[in-house]
Structure 1
Amino acid sequence: MSATPESGPEAKSSSLLRSSSIVSVMTLLSRVLGLARDVIVAQYFGARADAFFVAFKIPNFFRRLFAEGAFSVAFVPVLSEYRTQRAFDEVRLLVARVSGVLGMALLGVTCLAVLGADYLPWVFSPGFRSDPEKFALTGDLLRITFPYLFFISLTAFASSVLNAYGRFAVPAFTPVILNVTLIAATLGFTDYFEEPLYALAWGVFFAGLFQFMFQLPFIARMRLLVLPSVKPKDEGVRRIGKLMVPALFGVSVSQINLLLDTLLASFLEDGSVSWLYYSDRLNNLPLGVFAIAIGVVILPALSGKHAAADKEAFSRTIDWAVRMVFMIATPAALALVLLATPLMATIFYYGEVTAYDVGKMTLSLQAYAVGLLAFMMIKVLAPGYYARQDTKTPVKIGIQAMVVNMVLNLALVYPLQHAGLALATSLAAYYNVFMLYRGLRKSGVYQPQSGWLKFMLILLLANSALAAVSVWLMGAPGDWLTWKTMQRIGWLSVLVGAGVVVYFAVMTAAGLRLRHLRGELF
């Protein structure tokens, strides 16, 4: 039975490009503030924040694994099916029962983690054992940061509901609250603690709470703010749980690989965890602004097309997403590799950060940038499976990619140290992409549309022009460490601006137009 417009909120209809742009703009604001947050934290603590980064990364890892990873890809397709094929009362019942079961599970995990906070560093940062003070501090900070998982997972649940109905702006804006809260904690509360890192830990705790509270009025406006009900045997809840189990690995392989990097980095030179963190954050700027935005938008779109049995539209949507990723990821990766030193010097070379730190962060940034295309491609190929409620295939591929990553970690960590860990993650991501792509093609779900040869030639021309302009304007990388702050900021702005103008000017001159980038959402 289909829900009528009067029985519930209508799904907002828009083009894929417009919806992705809205999410990208909101995400860009969040990422810029996130970058500002990292600059401020680096200024205050430099490479001494290893304990906090591990204490923050552990709940963040579980968030990406469960809430934004396995849960979202299992919940959105089922919710989309209920939205299109069932009455609104059934949708409300599903939301109530899923929120109840999810909330109880999260509460249990959070309580166990807080009670066992002293033992988790043995698993996630065993290298810290050589520094008992840092090891103990990590556990103490983790007691404060881990409840973030409870709040942010419920936030992800609310975001999934909003996304399923085409309300993308609010979930995309919500992470701004995290960055604002952590900036405020660093600037305003570090002096109140004997160990200043506690201010950051409490900032994480309250950021999770604030983000969850922010989304509640928007859910209420849709009449989907319902009293949670713990009914684990409900049909919809059981289907979501069944889909979640294999999705735990399939959607979050990159996060698991990054966590393995942290574990191994804890055995390396002091500061290695921080170097990897800062470079990964910068590499994640284009990943978060564009690829994750596209993935968020196409999952409900693909789910709806699968429910309508429109195979041609399903394939066209994937093709649109893949082209968008190529158009964005290739120049972004190229710029991160070529301009790694200018970027790191301009953004992080202040306060406690030394020239030595900048050099180390540059190496890991370049290694991560090599895999940027693969990281972004995973975000748009994996929904091709999840929208069809196939979570088993990605988990098989994910396990294989994890094995590849571990082998490469062991092979590269000795000669390249922390940069070897980043490079191993990048290479394993390409294996993941290849297997995801091959699976979609073999099953006939995805058939590339016409015009790919011309599109790739345009990309080659545009990226060649971008590289030439970047190398010409950059100068000697070492000079950036001797310049004053405003000189670095000014010249980097010129570099980035010139690169963007040249790249899109060449693409436009070669015949690419805005109308070629549109796609249908619902």
Structure 2
Amino acid sequence: MSLLRNVGTIGGLTMVSRLFGFARDMLLARVLGAGGVADAWQLAFQLPNIFRRLFAEGAFASAFVPLFNRRMTDRDDLSEARRFAEEVLAFLIPVLIVFGALALIAMPWIAGLFANEGIEGDPDLFELAVLMARITFPYLAFMSLATLFAAILNSLSRFAAAAAAPILLNLCMITALIAGMTLGEGIEARRATGELLAIAVTVSGLLQLIWLWIWARKAGFRMRLGRPRITPGVKELGILILPAVFGAGVYQISRFIDLFFLATLPDGAYTFLAMGDRLNQLPLGIIGIALGTAILPALSRHIAGADHEAAQRLQSNAIELAMLLTVPAAVALFVTGSAFTRAFYTGGAFTLSDAMATGAVTSALVVGLPAYVLIKVLVPNYFARKDTRTPVYTALAALVLNVALNFLLVPRLGVVGLALAGSIGAWANVGLLYAILVRKGYFRLTARVAWRIARIALAALLMGAALWFAMPWGTGYYAGGVLERVGSILALVALGGAIYFAFAAVLGVLDRAAIARLMRREG
């Protein structure tokens, strides 16, 4: 299957999940508002999620897929790959049980590290945050196991089931929020809704695990649960995972650092960052995660087969496609972020000033959107070669810069400075990753691709200028009635899309040869 079709499959289903996520967050804003219980919920929800993205989606998947693909010598004989997966599964389960039990015991201390003054200063609110975090934490174990099955399916080029699984999380949370809306108003109703949300998260993890297990069996991959042993394969995976936590998970590590700085900011900062990140995650998930997921198995096979030309072509196509879709999304959200946050979130307990603050955070976050996507596209080139040390060094350098910028920007710009520091750190990581790829001879952008990216950026900037002038026209509609909100946002999207693709066509960014190249079958 071609890169474009693989990305389309993963990205399309991810977009469905993200749209459900928007519906979830719109309800969340109206029911819980910003600050208080809403901040406590965001803290409780982020703790297992950061661990999940850092370990399960980041380190584990990046280390497991190349090792699994190396054992897939024959598509008709998966016995060696199956044996490796069974060894990993048998070892992973007790590790997750022990880690989860320790985390539940230490949860008051963990939550205390990241709680802001509003949560820490209210004993009842802090107790609620700890309770919700404990209820949600088993989600990490379920999703770590689910990621094993997702990695297997992706290696077999069965991308749809894994891409669709997160929809279950949003459906469960939407159900909990609708149930919470029947409890009435007031602090007690909000607390009860928070507990329902925590239960929904853990239930969704179990459902996603069952869903992916069923699809793995349908794909002919049936695994038996054996006795946990540290086999050579498990040991090799463990050696790769430790540095992969840094190399593939820099974004999530920076989120941990963000939590420390958020604890110094006023009430509502957790919610503003979480709501802004939802908009940032839409293109990041649809494009970045889809590209990173799609290219790793094929890139691993090309490199294992010493087909360097195919690996170079696949990497170039991935970067070109990433920039074609991500740069205009970043420019558009930077200019129109406050319009989107006003339209999506204003109402109920979430005020217009809350929406404007969230819009400012969104604009700062999307400065780094293309960089976050490029990280997901470049890092697989290292992991496909089992080079896990280099991403560690680049990640650490970016983290040092991120922390330094936090100290500089957060006291001056608050939560907006926090978002901007992360974006700048991501661009530094991209520069280091690419420079080292060039120096080691792993990959180099051709002049043709570089010139095409420059034209993509020009088309996006022209679109951004048009949106800048058009934005004030809809000021009275962004937070109006339902039809006014929908109409004003659709008008912005249509205007931006039309201008971008018109300039892209004029500048020669979109042509038949480029589309044919991206449609070429890859591995």
Match of 2:22 among 35, 38, 44: 35
Equivalent residue for 2:85?
95
**What's the offset of the Cα at 1:251?**
0.8
CA pair 404-457 structure 1, distance change in 2 beyond 3 A = closer
Equivalent residue for 2:163?
172
Match of 2:8 among 4, 18, 21: 21
Structure 2 residue identity aligned to 1:28:
M
Decide whether the 8 Å contact of 2:337 with 2:363 is kept in 1: yes
1:69 equivalent to 2:66? Answer no
Q: Across the two proteins, how many residue pairs are aligned to each other?
A: 509
1:413 equivalent to 2:410? Answer yes
Equivalent residue for 1:152?
143
SS of the equivalent of 2:385 reads coil
Tell me the percent identity.
35
Match of 1:143 among 115, 134, 144: 134
**What's the offset of the Cα at 1:481?**
5.5
CA pair 259-486 structure 1, distance change in 2 beyond 3 A = farther
Equivalent residue for 2:172?
181
TM-score normalized by the length of structure 2:
0.94
Equivalent residue for 2:120?
129
- Partners of 1:104 and 1:396 lie apart in 2 by 31
Decide whether the 8 Å contact of 2:91 with 2:230 is kept in 1: no
**What's the offset of the Cα at 1:412?**
0.5
Match of 1:50 among 24, 36, 39: 39
- Partners of 1:228 and 1:293 lie apart in 2 by 30
Decide whether the 8 Å contact of 1:355 with 1:481 is kept in 2: no
1:250 equivalent to 2:247? Answer yes
What whole-Å deviation, never above 9, does each CA across 1:424-453 have from its counterpart, x for those lacking one? Answer: 101111111111011111111102234135
TM-score normalized by the length of structure 1:
0.94
Equivalent residue for 1:391?
388
SS of the equivalent of 2:127 reads helix
What whole-Å deviation, never above 9, does each CA across 1:214-240 have from its counterpart, x for those lacking one? Answer: 111211123322122244321211111
Equivalent residue for 1:5?
none
SS of the equivalent of 1:377 reads helix
Match of 2:364 among 350, 364, 367: 367
1:501 equivalent to 2:491? Answer no
Decide whether the 8 Å contact of 1:145 with 1:201 is kept in 2: yes
**What's the offset of the Cα at 1:484?**
2.7
Structure 2 residue identity aligned to 1:164:
S
**What's the offset of the Cα at 1:498?**
2.1
- Partners of 1:482 and 1:251 lie apart in 2 by 38
- Partners of 1:232 and 1:442 lie apart in 2 by 39
- Partners of 1:496 and 1:397 lie apart in 2 by 36
What whole-Å deviation, never above 9, does each CA across 1:101-123 have from its counterpart, x for those lacking one? Answer: 11111111111112222221122
Decide whether the 8 Å contact of 2:327 with 2:457 is kept in 1: no
- Partners of 2:437 and 2:445 lie apart in 1 by 11
Flag as ranges the 4+ runs of structure 1 deviating above 6 A: none
SS of the equivalent of 1:497 reads helix
Decide whether the 8 Å contact of 1:294 with 1:321 is kept in 2: yes
Match of 1:120 among 110, 117, 120: 110
What whole-Å deviation, never above 9, does each CA across 1:245-286 have from its counterpart, x for those lacking one? Answer: 111111111111122212211221100110011001111110
CA pair 477-217 structure 1, distance change in 2 beyond 3 A = same
- Partners of 2:234 and 2:450 lie apart in 1 by 45
Equivalent residue for 1:80?
69
Structure 2 residue identity aligned to 1:132:
P
**What's the offset of the Cα at 1:71?**
0.6
CA pair 350-262 structure 1, distance change in 2 beyond 3 A = same
What is the correspondence of 1:96-495 to structure 2 with a 5 Å cutoff?
96-125=86-115, 127=117, 128-189=119-180, 191=182, 195-475=192-472, 478-480=475-477, 483-495=480-492
- Partners of 1:52 and 1:506 lie apart in 2 by 44
CA pair 271-391 structure 1, distance change in 2 beyond 3 A = same
- Partners of 2:363 and 2:457 lie apart in 1 by 20
- Partners of 1:54 and 1:520 lie apart in 2 by 43
Point out the more displaced range, 55-64 or 485-494: 485-494
What whole-Å deviation, never above 9, does each CA across 1:144-194 have from its counterpart, x for those lacking one? Answer: 000000111111111000000100011001100000010001102565676
CA pair 26-299 structure 1, distance change in 2 beyond 3 A = same
SS of the equivalent of 1:445 reads coil
Decide whether the 8 Å contact of 2:108 with 2:130 is kept in 1: yes
**What's the offset of the Cα at 1:84?**
2.2
- Partners of 1:190 and 1:106 lie apart in 2 by 34
CA pair 482-372 structure 1, distance change in 2 beyond 3 A = closer
Equivalent residue for 2:522?
521
Point out the more displaced range, 296-305 or 83-92: 83-92
**What's the offset of the Cα at 1:491?**
1.4
What whole-Å deviation, never above 9, does each CA across 1:93-146 have from its counterpart, x for those lacking one? Answer: 111111111111111111111222222112232643223222221111111000
**What's the offset of the Cα at 1:488?**
2.0
Decide whether the 8 Å contact of 2:3 with 2:521 is kept in 1: yes
CA pair 209-70 structure 1, distance change in 2 beyond 3 A = same
Decide whether the 8 Å contact of 2:299 with 2:311 is kept in 1: yes
Decide whether the 8 Å contact of 1:63 with 1:153 is kept in 2: yes
What whole-Å deviation, never above 9, does each CA across 1:322-368 have from its counterpart, x for those lacking one? Answer: 11121112111111111011111111111111111012111111110
**What's the offset of the Cα at 1:403?**
1.2
- Partners of 1:311 and 1:384 lie apart in 2 by 11
CA pair 453-296 structure 1, distance change in 2 beyond 3 A = closer
Gaps of 5+ in 1: 1-13
- Partners of 2:366 and 2:495 lie apart in 1 by 20
**What's the offset of the Cα at 1:519?**
4.1
- Partners of 2:517 and 2:71 lie apart in 1 by 32
Structure 1 residue identity aligned to 2:95:
A
**What's the offset of the Cα at 1:465?**
3.4
Structure 2 residue identity aligned to 1:81:
R
Equivalent residue for 1:10?
none
Gaps of 5+ in 2: 184-188
- Partners of 1:363 and 1:464 lie apart in 2 by 19
- Partners of 2:34 and 2:474 lie apart in 1 by 22
- Partners of 1:485 and 1:266 lie apart in 2 by 35
Equivalent residue for 2:186?
none
Point out the more displaced range, 60-69 or 446-455: 446-455
Decide whether the 8 Å contact of 2:288 with 2:322 is kept in 1: yes
